[in-house]
Structure 1
Amino acid sequence: MISVNGLSVSLGGRRVVEDVSFALGAGEFAALTGPNGAGKSTALKALAGVAAVEAGRIEIGAAPAASLNALARARRVAWLAQTRPVAWNLRVEDVVSIGRFTEAPAAYDRMGAEGRAAVDGALAKADAAHLAGRAFQALSGGEQARVHLARLLASPAPCLLLDEPCAALDIAHQLSLMETLAAEAAAGRTVLVVLHDLELAARYCRRVLVMEAGRLVADGAPGEALSAEVLGRVFGVQRGADGALFRGPR
C-alpha cells in the first residue's frame, strides 16, 4: 500500500530524515518509534504530503505520490497529526465529519445517510459516541483526542497514519485505541502509528520500525526490532529479568 525508497527530508536547512526505505502492505499494523528528534513525525508528514520530500520516492497504492494532487492523496491516506488544533467551537459530530470531506464535504446534519452512518460508526469505535452533540472546546484533552481519532476513522482512506495518538489518553483508552487500530488493519487497512510506548508497540504491532538520528536502524518483528542491542544503543534502556525496562545499571 505504501512504499518508501530513499526518503530524505530537510527542515530549516537541516537533514532530519536520511535515506529511509520501507514498504507496508494492506492489512499491516506497524509502529514507528525512536527517541525524541529521530525524525519520526517528519517522515510521517512526508507520507501524508505535508512535508516536502528532498530526495527519494514515495508510492501510495502503486501510484507515485508526487503525481497525486491533494484530493487524490487524501482519498488514499488519512493522517492524524501530533498537534490537532480546532479553531472553531464545532459540535463533536461536525469535527468527525471533516474526515469525510473527500466523499461528502458537508456538516453532519447535511450529510446523507451513508455519511452520517460512517461518522456515527467512527465515534463508536473511538468510544466517543456519548460525546455527540457537545461542543468540542468544552471537552477534556482526552475526550478531544478520541474525537480526533474518530475523525481519522471516518475517512474511507485505505491507509491510516497516526502521530502519537495515545497522548492525553488514560491507560484504558490507550489499550482501546490500539485494539481499534489492530481491528482496522485486520479489516484490510494499512496502519502506521508513531509510538513512544515500546510495550504497546510490542504488544499490538506485528512490525516495528525504529529510527535514530533520521535513519531507519531496525525493521522487523517486535522481538527483533526491539532487541537488547537496539534498546541499549538507541533508547538507552535495558530489559530486566522481570521484563520491565529500566535506564542505567541496577
Structure 2
Amino acid sequence: MTVTFSHSTAITARNLQLTLANKVLLDNFSIDIKAGQVTALLGPNGAGKSTLLKILCGEMSPESGEVAFFNRDINDWQRAELARHLGILPQHSSLSFGFTCKEVVELGTMPLCLSRQEIDRITSQTMANTDVLELAQRLYPTLSGGEKQRIHFARVLTQLSQADDKCILMLDEPTSALDLAHQHKTLQMAQTMAAQGAAVIVVLHDLNLAAQYAQRMVIIQHGKIQADGTPWQALDPAVINAVYGWQVSVHAHPIHDYPFLLSAC
C-alpha cells in the first residue's frame, strides 16, 4: 500500500542492494524521504532498518544503488558542508572521555561558524529543549543510558542549528533508553523539527509511538517495503501479522485521530 505526499524530496534512494554474511539486508530498495514530515521506519529485528539509515547517511556503502540529498548525489557533498544539514543520532554513541555534558553538546558546533557567545546560547537552548540543562557540568560517563541519549540528541540539534531550509534529521531508536515522558518529548521535538521543514527519519520498534508521531510509516521486512503510507494505511492487521507473526487489532485513539494496536493473542 502506498501514499503520495506533496512535500519536497529531501532524500532520494534508488535500487539499493546489500548482502552481508549471505543475508540480503536491502533488496533493490528505493525510497523518497520528504521534507516537512516524520517518516518512521519499522519492522522486526534484522529487517534492514538501521542498515538503511547507515546507507542513507553515508556510513555504509551499498553494493549498488544511489543516494542523493536535495537532488544532489551524496558523493558530491563536501563532508563539512553536509554536516551542517544532516544530523544523525545513532543507536549507540561511544564516548568514554571525561567531558562535561555541555562539552559533549558543544561538539555539535564543530561544522558551524559561531562565536563563543552564540555557542553558549545555542547549546543552552538545545539542552533546555532536551531536558538536560541541569546536567551541563556533570561528567558524561557518570550519566544513565537515557541521560546520555538525551545529551546526544541535544548535540545533534545543536549541529543542525544552521541547517536553514535543507535539514535532515535521522534518529535510530531514539527512545530505546528513555522513560515514558522523555519518549514522548523526544518525538514531539522530532515532530516540531518536521513542522519547521526538516526531513525527519526515525527508526522505531514501538508501532503505537510511531502511529502517534509519524505522518508516514514504512514497514520493512527482508530488505523490502511491505507497507508504506499514513498510520491508518500502514497499520493493517494482516500486514502486521505477516511481518511480525503476531495478531493485532487496530483501534482509534479515544482523543486523538491516530490508530493504536492491541495484541489480539
What's the CA shift string for 1:72-108, capped at 9, x where partnerless? 3322211111111112121101111112211159xxx
Instruction: Structure 2: state its 5+ residue gaps.
Output: 1-9, 252-259
Identify the match of residue 67 of structure 1 among 76, 100, 117: 76
**How far apart are the structure 2 equivalents of 1:198 and 1:63?**
32
- The aligned counterpart of 2:263 is 246
**How far apart are the structure 2 equivalents of 1:239 and 1:21?**
28
Check if 1:145 corresponds to 2:149: yes
Asked if the contact 2:207/2:261 (under 8 Å) is kept, the reply is no
Identify the match of residue 139 of structure 2 among 130, 135, 140: 135
Identify the match of residue 225 of structure 1 among 227, 234, 247: 234
- The aligned counterpart of 2:6 is none
- The aligned counterpart of 1:206 is 215
Give the 3-state SS of the residue equivalent to 1:161 in structure 2.
Answer: strand
**How far apart are the structure 2 equivalents of 1:87 and 1:178?**
27
The CA deviation at 1:8 is: 1.8
The CA deviation at 1:185 is: 0.7
**How far apart are the structure 2 equivalents of 1:137 and 1:22?**
38
Asked if the contact 2:208/2:261 (under 8 Å) is kept, the reply is no
**How far apart are the structure 2 equivalents of 1:232 and 1:97?**
44
Check if 1:47 corresponds to 2:56: yes
**How far apart are the structure 2 equivalents of 1:205 and 1:194?**
11
- The aligned counterpart of 1:108 is none
Asked if the contact 1:8/1:20 (under 8 Å) is kept, the reply is yes
Paired-residue identity, %: 35
**How far apart are the structure 2 equivalents of 1:15 and 1:104?**
42
**How far apart are the structure 2 equivalents of 1:5 and 1:132?**
42
- 15-24 or 34-43, larger mean C-alpha shift: 15-24
Using structure 2 for the length normalisation, give the TM-score.
0.86
The CA deviation at 1:241 is: 7.1
- The aligned counterpart of 2:225 is 216
**How far apart are the structure 2 equivalents of 1:147 and 1:221?**
31
Residue type of the partner of 1:246? S
Give the 3-state SS of the residue equivalent to 1:149 in structure 2.
Answer: helix
- Give the aligned CA root-mean-square deviation in angstroms: 1.8
Using structure 1 for the length normalisation, give the TM-score.
0.91
**How far apart are the structure 2 equivalents of 1:18 and 1:241?**
29
Residue type of the partner of 1:52? S
Give the 3-state SS of the residue equivalent to 1:218 in structure 2.
Answer: strand
Identify the match of residue 56 of structure 1 among 65, 81, 85: 65
Asked if the contact 1:77/1:159 (under 8 Å) is kept, the reply is yes
Asked if the contact 2:24/2:222 (under 8 Å) is kept, the reply is no
**How far apart are the structure 1 equivalents of 2:249 and 2:227?**
21
What's the CA shift string for 1:182-218, capped at 9, x where partnerless? 0111111110000000000001111001110111221
Asked if the contact 2:237/2:250 (under 8 Å) is kept, the reply is no
Residue type of the partner of 1:22? I
The CA deviation at 1:238 is: 2.4
Check if 1:76 corresponds to 2:85: yes
Asked if the contact 1:61/1:76 (under 8 Å) is kept, the reply is no
- The aligned counterpart of 1:29 is 38
Asked if the contact 2:130/2:154 (under 8 Å) is kept, the reply is yes
**How far apart are the structure 1 equivalents of 2:70 and 2:111?**
17
Asked if the contact 1:80/1:152 (under 8 Å) is kept, the reply is yes
